[in-house]
Amino acid sequence: MAGKPIFILNGPNLNRLGKREPEIYGSTTLAEIEAICRQAAGEFPVRFHQSNAEHQLVDWVHEAIDDGAGILINPAGLSFRSIPLLDSLKMFPGPIVEYHISNIHRREEIYHHSLVSKVATAVLAGLGPRGYAHAVRALIDMVADRNG
Ligand code: DHK
């Protein structure tokens, strides 16, 4: 029987990657990022999702609470203002890796204080689209460490 999957969750506007501010986010599409994640995960099961809706991300975190081994989340703009998303992540018992394509700390002030970072096990930012692979591997290592 396959083990519990990692949930890879992507927030608002990330469906526009490839066309969205390529000088910041590159030209890699979200579909290409999903392929990068699945390749990095190897045999480890993956649930990959994106939504522009806060409630949908909260619902996926609830699914992960019940059935997930770990969460990799790029909350995008929800990073900075979403108490509901933060509250849902607080309930998750496993490791959480927060990932941002850009280095949010080098950008405008509004991007400097992520609420999600208050609950994330680890935070990665600025490695570009390919950085998702590093985040996936780090999360799987954390899951393995917890499982002994
Ligand atoms: C993506 C977004 O949509 C922004 O709101 C964040 C993040 C940065 C990223 O770099 O992946 O501030």
Q: What is the mean pLDDT of the chain?
A: 97
Whether 111 sits among the annotated catalytic residues: the reply is no
How many domains does the chain contain in total?
A: 1
- Please answer whether residues 135 and 124 qualify as being in contact, where contact means their C-beta atoms are separated by less than 8 angstroms: yes
Whether 49 sits among the annotated catalytic residues: the reply is no
pLDDT at 34 over 80: yes
How far apart are alpha carbons 94 and 146 in whole angstroms? 8
Q: Per-residue confidence at 147, pLDDT binned at 50, 70, 90? A: confident
CATH number at residue 43: 3.40.50.9100
pLDDT at 42 over 90: yes
Query: Which candidate in 49, 62, 99, 100 is catalytic?
Result: 100
pLDDT at 1 over 70: no
How far the first Cα of the chain sits from its last, in Å, is 19
How far does residue 3's CA lie from ligand 1's centre (Å)? 30
Q: Ligand 1 in contact with 15 (CB < 6 A)?
A: no
Mean pLDDT for the stretch of residues 29-46 = 98
Atom from ligand 1 closest to the CA of residue 102: 10
Asked whether residue 108 is assigned to any structural domain, the reply reads yes
Domain that holds residue 125: 6-147
How far apart are alpha carbons 30 and 16 in whole angstroms? 8
Handedness of CA 107, 54, 15, 34 (dihedral sign): positive
Q: Per-residue confidence at 55, pLDDT binned at 50, 70, 90? A: very high
CA 86 from centre of chain = 13
How far apart are alpha carbons 70 and 44 in whole angstroms? 11
pLDDT value of position 2:
67
Percent of the chain with pLDDT over 90: 97
pLDDT one-digit tens code per residue, 102-132: 999 999 999 999 999 999 999 999 999 999 9
Q: What is the pTM of this model?
A: 0.97
Asked whether residue 1 is assigned to any structural domain, the reply reads no
How far does residue 110's CA lie from ligand 1's centre (Å)? 11
Residue 81: phi, psi to the nearest 5?
-140, -5
Helices 131-147 + 30-41 axis angle, to 10: 40
Closest CA to ligand 1's atom 3: 76
Q: Ligand 1 in contact with 77 (CB < 6 A)?
A: yes
Q: Token digits for 67?
A: 């059935």
Q: Ligand 1 in contact with 76 (CB < 6 A)?
A: yes
